[in-house]
């Protein structure tokens, strides 16, 4: 029984991380109609900036608070200086631009930090493992489960229950109409892009103690995040949650019970969704 609980927690902890990344990816697509290839790099940037903050301050918690807004600001700046000008162009331009941004950011991080991975220690409170009925489980992973759930609920409440959330949803549904009704669409796009990057940055800071900050972590996570978003439905926060849980479970349980086919399972689920429900579990048919 304890082992089943351990597998469940493993899936939830991974899902928590995946959600922080895929939520932003999904949000950006829903509102900006852009598939943001640079999204994974903001996750990586979060992890590296987290490392720097921890190294400078000696504390983990400030990193969790300070880094996401910084990453968000960098994202918003990039959106307003590059992406903003090509929304009307065919999607291939946006793909190329975000891909280029990803390469530039990744190589800049390499130049600044060097090729060696940067280890970040969890805060003292979350170090070590707790005994869950016979199974030793790392405290830090429990924290990831809580963090994923909290952020998930907060984002959902924000979009559903606040006025700003209403405007964002209006822009997502029909940006021209929202514009006519007085919503500042340009500003909404920049803010949403920044917020999405901040979420990815938060994911990066949170991931650093678990995976270290390393080059290539963005590429690894963006592939999973795309699968999450395809399964859950582009533009839907609920979909990102469901998709994260499905991918987290497929990866951890697959690796445990069917190791030879672990990688296949995740893509098989995605393939099935694409065939039977191409708009995703929670997406809307267009």
Partner 1 sequence: MRRRDFLKISVAGAAGTSLLAAPRYVRAAEAIKIGMPAALSGSYAQYGIQAKRAADLFSKDVKAKGILGRPVEFIFEDTAGDPAAAVRKAQKLVEKDGVKFLTGVALSSEALAVSAKCPEWKVLFMSTINGAGALTAKSFHRYFFRVNTSGPMGARAISLYLAESPMKRFFALGSDYAWGRDSAASFTQQITAAKKDIVGSDYPPVGTKDFASYIAKIRQSRAEGVYLALPGQDATIYMKQAHQFGLNREVKPIMEILELENMKAVGDAMVGAIGSSRYPFTVDTPKNKEFVKRFHELHGMYPDMFDGETYEGLEWLAQVIAKAGTDDVEKVIEAWEDSTYEGLEGPFLMRKCDHQAVQPGFAVECVKDPKYPHPIPKILATYPGDKVTPKCRTEEFS
Q: Which residues bind partner 1 (CB under 8 A)?
A: 3, 6-7, 10, 13-14, 107, 110, 115-119, 122, 127-129, 136-138, 140-141, 207, 209-212, 214-217, 219-221, 251-253, 255-256, 259-260, 262-263
| 128 secondary structure, DSSP code | S
Which CB sits closer to partner 1, 65 or 136? 136
Vertex 76 angle, CA 70 and 82, to 5°:
135
SS3 184: coil
Which CB sits closer to partner 1, 51 or 282? 51
Q: Buried b / exposed e across 152-180, counting CB within 10 Å, b at 16+?
A: beebbeebeeeeeeebbebbbeebeebee
How near is the Cβ of 210 to partner 1 at its closest, in Å?
7
d(CA 213, CA 215): 7
How near is the Cβ of 224 to partner 1 at its closest, in Å?
9
How near is the Cβ of 222 to partner 1 at its closest, in Å?
12
**8 A C-beta contact, residue 218 and residue 99:** no
How near is the Cβ of 104 to partner 1 at its closest, in Å?
12
Which CB sits closer to partner 1, 146 or 154? 146
d(CA 248, CA 148): 12
| 210 secondary structure, DSSP code | H
How near is the Cβ of 67 to partner 1 at its closest, in Å?
19
SS3 44: helix
Which CB sits closer to partner 1, 146 or 263? 263
Angle between helix 185-211 and helix 217-232 axes, rounded to 10 deg: 120
How near is the Cβ of 162 to partner 1 at its closest, in Å?
34
Which CB sits closer to partner 1, 52 or 80? 52
Which helix (H) or strand (E) is 80 found in, with range?
helix 61-81
Structure tokens at 204: 């990066």
Structure tokens at 224: 């999973």
C-beta neighbour count of 88 within 10 angstroms: 6
Which CB sits closer to partner 1, 64 or 191? 64
How near is the Cβ of 211 to partner 1 at its closest, in Å?
5
Which CB sits closer to partner 1, 86 or 210? 210
């Amino acid at each position: 029984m304890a082992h089943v609980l351990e597998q469940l927690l493993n899936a939830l902890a991974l899902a928590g991380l995946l959600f922080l990344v895929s939520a932003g990816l999904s949000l950006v697509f829903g509102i900006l109609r852009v598939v943001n290839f640079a999204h994974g790099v903001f996750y990586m940037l979060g992890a590296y900036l987290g490392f720097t903050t921890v190294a400078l301050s000696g504390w983990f918690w400030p990193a969790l608070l300070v880094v996401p807004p910084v990453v968000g600001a960098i994202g918003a700046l990039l959106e307003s200086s590059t992406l903003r000008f090509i929304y009307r162009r065919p999607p291939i331009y946006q793909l190329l631009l975000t891909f280029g941004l990803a390469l530039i950011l990744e190589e800049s991080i390499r130049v600044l930090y060097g090729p060696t991975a940067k280890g970040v220690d969890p805060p003292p409170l979350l170090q070590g493992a707790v005994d869950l009925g016979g199974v030793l489980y790392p405290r830090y992973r429990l924290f990831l489960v809580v963090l994923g759930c909290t952020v998930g609920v907060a984002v959902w409440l924000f979009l559903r229950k606040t006025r700003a959330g209403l405007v964002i949803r209006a822009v997502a549904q029909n940006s021209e109409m929202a514009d006519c009704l007085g919503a500042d669409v340009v500003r909404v796009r920049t803010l949403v892009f920044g917020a999405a990057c901040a979420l990815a940055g938060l994911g990066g800071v949170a991931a650093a103690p678990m995976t270290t900050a390393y080059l290539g972590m963005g590429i690894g996570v963006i592939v999973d995040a795309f699968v999450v978003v395809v399964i859950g439905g582009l533009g839907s926060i609920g979909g990102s949650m469901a998709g994260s849980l499905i991918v987290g479970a497929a990866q951890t349980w697959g690796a445990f019970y069917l190791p030879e086919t672990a990688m296949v399972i995740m893509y098989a689920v995605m393939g099935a969704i694409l065939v039977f429900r191409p708009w995703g579990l929670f997406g809307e048919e267009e």
